[in-house]
Amino acid sequence: MAVKGLRHLYAERPVIEDLTFTLRAGRAIALVGPNGAGKTTVLKCIVGSAEPAAGQILLDGSPIDERAEVVRRDVASLLDDLDFFPDLTAAEHLDLLARAHGNGTPEDLVDTVLDDVGLLGAADQLPGSLSSGQRRRLALATALVRPRKLLVLDEPEARLDSAGVAWLGEMLLAEKKRGTSILFASHDAALVDAVADETVTLTPLA
Ligand SMILES: Nc1ncnc2c1ncn2[C@@H]1O[C@H](COP(=O)(O)OP(=O)(O)OP(=O)(O)O)[C@@H](O)[C@H]1O
């Protein structure tokens, strides 16, 4: 994945100017910088929920198009808190997403991922009965039951306890080993140190 000369404006106010970086398979780049520096905006441009004023975002050399099947297949992202279906259990959410992304018999995968994210005991709970940290774990799990070449995560450490952040670091390192590229924004220096091969530092524009 490559970002070339990215520029973004909100109501004519520049927030990102001429940002360029390349992320290779199996590598991780962390976007760092203070509140308001533009990290989320960059991630939104990449997943297609914000429109750049200039620049290119390339996936395997072609401009990224979130409506294209290949992009929906290859890019797993978690930017905001997810809205869950109130009457589907944690396990049913993961089952649904796995099937929607082409895995017709996801039972074993769902159990493995629930175990990985520490939600096996909460598999049959409805989202409304999960704690905010457990909901966050379920949201991260939705990215793990689907095919992915690129993971785009905005502050994945948010609301996780220290054991959860440690798990997150291990999980992201395992993702890199299986060849997934990871682009994540984070305020957690230890997580960035553990996972990122490079950091891209953004600063708020005057
Ligand atoms: N929808 C919007 N309309 C107008 N301005 C916006 C909008 N979204 C973000 N901004 C502004 O753009 C700038 C960058 O915001 P962004 O959310 O990308 O920063 P961030 O680096 O992710 O911050 P944080 O660390 O707080 O999550 C901020 O000045 C913010 O106020």
Q: What is the DSSP letter of 84?
A: P
Token readout for 155 is 């502050």
Q: pLDDT for 105-155, tens place per residue?
A: 888 999 999 999 999 999 999 999 999 999 999 999 999 999 899 999 999
Q: Which CATH class is domain 2-201?
A: alpha beta
> Can you tell me the ipTM of this complex?
0.97
Residue of 12, 16, 32, 39 to test ligand 1 pocket, by largest number of atoms within 8 Å of CB: 39
Span from the CA of 113 to the centroid of ligand 1 (angstroms): 32
Binding site membership of 36 for ligand 1 (Cβ less than 6 Å): yes
Percent of the chain clearing pLDDT 70 (strictly above): 98
Alpha-carbon distances, residue 26 vs 167, 179, 181 (angstroms)? 18, 4, 5
Token readout for 2 is 């490559």
